[in-house]
Amino acid sequence: MSQNPFFIGQPVPPKHFVGRKADIATAFDQIYHRSNLAVWGSSGMGKSSLLEQLISPEVWEQKGQDISKAVIVLFSCLSISPFSSTSFWQEVLSLLRDEVDNDSTLQAQIDKFLEQGQATKDSLRRILRQLGKQGKFLLLLVDDYDAALVPNGQYTETDIENFLNECRNLAYHCRERQYLSMIVTSSRRLSEIGPPLKPGGSPWYNHYLFEQLKPFTDAEMKALLGSTMTPGLQKGVREIASGNPALLQIAGYLLYQGAKSGVGAKHLGDNSSVEPKVYSPNASPSGSLEVPETFAKDFESAARHYFQDIWSFSNELEQTLLILIALSNLKGRLHNQRYDLSGIEIIFSQKERELTYLEERGVINCTVEEGKKRYSFTSSIMERWVVQELSNSDDASLEKRKKVLLNLIIFLVTTASSQQI
């Protein structure tokens, strides 16, 4: 049997990359126009893998663009710890120096900036000017840009605002912007996680085109899984991993390894003579597909950090809505407790914006049954994980959630009263 075609814990290599054609086309349009792009999406949506595509000579050739004109710098803000604007510009200049190893003059100029402690936005602007004279430009690919928006002991809220203004000045206002294209990634839309706008101030993110990485479509999932799995297996994988690319990779990897060891495709109830086992004792509340406990435990163990990220990147209201969805599928019963879910439909109707956002992130989906919207989890394992999160909450966490629920109930009562007037 050949090597496992699925990848865990690293960006997917360009030759194994599938899907995202529209997103890649958008990125290259921005590169061609020397403009800027802010890509955002939940954990596991493939943001890092997308950036890897943008440094592939084969992809550049497919898009009809000349990679020899680009000096490409790719790094993650998580590699800068603790983060500061000075460290950011140092990282950019240092990596840029490595990419121009055939230009000793430009390297010497960069060395001078670094040695004299002059790694700044203005230093980079001078380097851009030199690149422009050579008919080249800088493609700056910055992963995990969220880290630049979080203060630390040496990096204050004011420092964040100054840094973002520097980036905007470089990419939008200065003449050298024609020699720069900047593409960044983040877990949420930058306008939601950055500093608030000040009266009369220009939005610090206006120079970006925003692009959300959404869950894989059915066609993209088939392209990823179809060469190694039957349609029955693909259905089972979609049930537990939804359209999250990283979760699909993990499920595919485990199944492929199982096949090599003789366990194989019967894991997810493929159309074989072996009947699928019920996933117990903690079966998915939705119960739409029976998944064997052994595989589900292996999958949950390997993917736990993704579920944790999806949960952590949700705000308190979104987390509460996820809990309500899980409880509604349990008919309000969890262990020996019963939760009163009367009025939950009104809460959902009043919080459609937040629910739509969770749907766009690929965490839940919405169907209409008998004229009523019904929300469910896209991943049965994620649903089980949310139930466990509620079950394992300590007293402090439960009190915090009660406050959010109380606010929702107060909002519900106020809404109902106003409708009766």
Domain borders along the chain are 20-212, 218-305, 306-420
Top-confidence residue, 201 or 45: 45
> Closest Cα partner for 25 from 58, 62, 56, 71?
62
* H/E segment holding residue 416: helix 395-420
Is the pLDDT at 292 greater than 80? The verdict is no
Task: Give the confidence band of 185 by pLDDT, cuts at 50, 70, 90.
Answer: very high
The CATH number of the structural domain formed by 306-420 is 1.10.10
Residues 55, 22: contact at Cβ < 8 Å? Answer: no
Is the pLDDT at 280 greater than 80? The verdict is no
Task: Give the confidence band of 332 by pLDDT, cuts at 50, 70, 90.
Answer: low
Quote the pLDDT of residue 340.
61
Identify the sign of the CA torsion 213, 219, 225, 230. positive
Quote the pLDDT of residue 289.
40
pLDDT (average), residues 143-168: 96
Above pLDDT 90, what percent of the chain? Answer: 53
Task: Give the confidence band of 2 by pLDDT, cuts at 50, 70, 90.
Answer: confident
Quote the pLDDT of residue 408.
61
Number of H helices, E strands in the chain: 17, 9
Is the pLDDT at 378 greater than 70? The verdict is yes
The CATH number of the structural domain formed by 20-212 is 3.40.50.300
Quote the pLDDT of residue 181.
98
pTM of the complete model: 0.84
Mean pLDDT for the chain?
85
Separation between Cα atoms, residue 365 and residue 358, nearest integer Å: 8
> Closest Cα partner for 209 from 28, 362, 376, 389?
28
Quote the pLDDT of residue 80.
96
pLDDT (average), residues 272-279: 30
Count other C-beta atoms under 10 Å from residue 295's C-beta. Answer: 23
Low-confidence winner among 66-75, 110-119, 328-337 (lowest mean pLDDT)? 328-337
Is the pLDDT at 114 greater than 70? The verdict is yes
Is the pLDDT at 23 greater than 90? The verdict is yes
pLDDT (average), residues 48-53: 96
Count other C-beta atoms under 10 Å from residue 239's C-beta. Answer: 21
Is the pLDDT at 120 greater than 90? The verdict is yes
Beta strands 180-186; 137-143: pairing state = parallel
Is the pLDDT at 180 greater than 70? The verdict is yes
Quote the pLDDT of residue 388.
84
- Which residue type does 20 have? R
158-172, 199-213, 390-404 — which one is most confidently predicted on average?
A: 158-172
Task: Give the confidence band of 205 by pLDDT, cuts at 50, 70, 90.
Answer: very high
Residues 71, 136: contact at Cβ < 8 Å? Answer: yes
Quote the pLDDT of residue 267.
45
- Which residue type does 230 have? T
- What would the pLDDT profile of 51-109 be if each residue is shown by its tens digit? 999 999 999 999 999 999 999 999 999 999 999 999 999 999 999 999 998 999 999 99
Is the pLDDT at 8 greater than 80? The verdict is yes
Low-confidence winner among 48-57, 282-291, 309-318 (lowest mean pLDDT)? 282-291
Do 306-420 and 20-212 have the same topology in CATH? Answer: no
Q: Report CA-CA distances (Å) from 289 to 21, 97, 215, 239, 258.
A: 31, 53, 20, 7, 20
pLDDT (average), residues 138-149: 97
pLDDT (average), residues 115-130: 95
Separation between Cα atoms, residue 368 and residue 412, nearest integer Å: 22
